[in-house]
Amino acid sequence: MTTFSLGETDFLLDGRPHQVISGTLHYFRIHPEHWADRIRTARAMGLNTIETYVAWNAHEPVKGEWDATGWNDLGRFLDLIADEGLHAIVRPGPYICAEWHNGGLPVWLTSTPGIGIRRSEPQFVEAVTAYLRRVYEIVAPRQIDRGGNVVLVQIENEYGAYGSDKEYLRELVRVTKEAGITVPLTTVDQPMPWMLEAGSLPELHLTGSFGSRSAERLETLREHQPTGPLMCSEFWDGWFDWWGSIHHTTDPAASAHDLDVLLAAGASVNIYMVHGGTNFGTTNGANDKGRFDPIVTSYDYDAPIDESGHPTAKFHAFREVIAKYAPVPADVPAPRPAAPAFTVSLSGEGDWMPAVDGSPRPAPASFEQLGHLGPLVRYDVDLPAFTGPAALVFDEVRDLAWVHVDGTPVGRLSRSLHERALTLPAGSRLTVLVEDQGRVNYADRLGEPKGLIGEVTLNGEPLTGWTATPVDLDTVEGSGTGAVGRAFLRGSFDLDAPADLFLDTAAWGKGYAFVNGFFLGRYWNNVPQNTLYVPGPATRAGANEIVVLELEHALEPVARFVAEPSLGQLEE
């Protein structure tokens, strides 16, 4: 039996000192047919371990409907890691942050009346217990002391930045051990004394999350973890992007230097991210620290392995550093080849807005009240007789709203810009299309409702009698009749063989794109992201179809596929 344990100063693998050199891959951000390739490429950089979060809301988007197949086949992902001779670290949360929608927590959970998120509140603990037991059914038999490859399991995630409920943490530990987890249990927090003290328990092994000033951070960590191995379990080698900002990058040489300092100190490391992947569909999260900032579709993260799975300059810089401390494979992956470049004409098939459906309510229903997990809801209400213009005021719009009177657009309101009022012309029918741009993944806004929140007034008088119609993106079709701006666009193209593609979205406004029914994600003519990644397994030899749901206005009814990605302007 192979053993993995905590020694006085090191991790011990079969009793011998062992330095963990790990990198993060999120199975839920990578097409399953690419899992083995991404793991193999990470191994070529010199890693001996792969780490992943578990996204609860990917496995159980609807309460009681647990899924661990296909994209959610965590067991297969861990087995593929083992096939490459690598260890695995599992971080099941239940909260993961990760710039992933709702921090990984299911909407049905966070919208439960009276629930206490991330603390020892009975409803939350009951649900988390059931979730963790399901995860550990997959993880427990794959632990290293049972012939598998899992060496560490993390309890919660950066909990000291959120709370200090020790009873909650103890309950998570109890459930974890009861489920048969015997490998060492860890926590992670930024190396700030108050976070390290609040976020762990004496029986859990503290690790740190940081991306620079490695020696200083390790010193702080050692003050709070007097014995055992030092570990940076989130070494931030890049950063994420949000709409309206730049494309964030870090200098490969500077990141490699900080990695070198960590490894030279004998510390173990998990590189976050070694390969970021993509927020396919509408899985992106958002942050709100006074301004609502939804995350873009790409999760490239300026990682050593780029969004399409190829090595970057950072890969080679990191590999050179790792080679000083551990053996690295001889084979080096090839650089990214140019993708096929071509243009596809799109046929405009009219508006895709669904017809009004549902009974009127006094106030607009939230997405949660509708049980709707998609990004769009149509709201309608009859207007009282008035002579325009009039002031239309919303308590709050979450997150972007297009306002129409009698079918004519009159304006757009953005939560990011703190907009919630506009001037309305006279008319009889108000229609508001609202987009959930991404659920906040951090701090106390976890689980907040989406849609039109609170009261809507016209010249100070409440509007009542609202219908709310969820938009199902899987079933929408063009109506055949035109609309100002909003459009359903379709085209076809041939490929000699399946291939990774990069879809240039610069000629469109805002919306969603699909290839052969595969939901690539959101696009927007807001900065920074200019292309969407199309994974090769979503394409096929012969005929392929592209569908675009445009929310605003497509300047050109064409789809351009380009040779390489464009993720936006860098900081000067």
Residue 234 annotated as catalytic: yes
> In sequence order, what are the residues at sequence separation of 6 or more whose Cβ sits closer than 8 angstroms to the Cβ of residue 446?
95, 102, 103, 105, 110, 117, 118, 440
Half-sphere exposure of 512 (CA within 13 A, CB side): 24
Q: 467-470 and 376-382: which strand pairing?
A: antiparallel
Annotated catalytic residue within 51, 99, 158, 368 = 158
Residue 51 annotated as catalytic: no
d(CA 20, CA 235): 13
d(CA 101, CA 216): 32
Annotated catalytic residue within 51, 99, 156, 234 = 234
Residue 524 C-alpha from the chain's centroid: 17
CB 17 within 8 A of CB 7: yes
What are φ and ψ of residue 343, in 5° steps? Answer: -120, 140
**Cα–Cα nearest to 90, from 42, 175, 25, 43:** 25
User: By three-state DSSP, how is residue 470 classified?
Assistant: strand
d(CA 166, CA 323): 41
Amino acid in the structure at residue 116: G
d(CA 82, CA 9): 26
d(CA 297, CA 365): 27
**Cα–Cα nearest to 325, from 20, 88, 84:** 20
Which residues belong to the active site? 158, 234
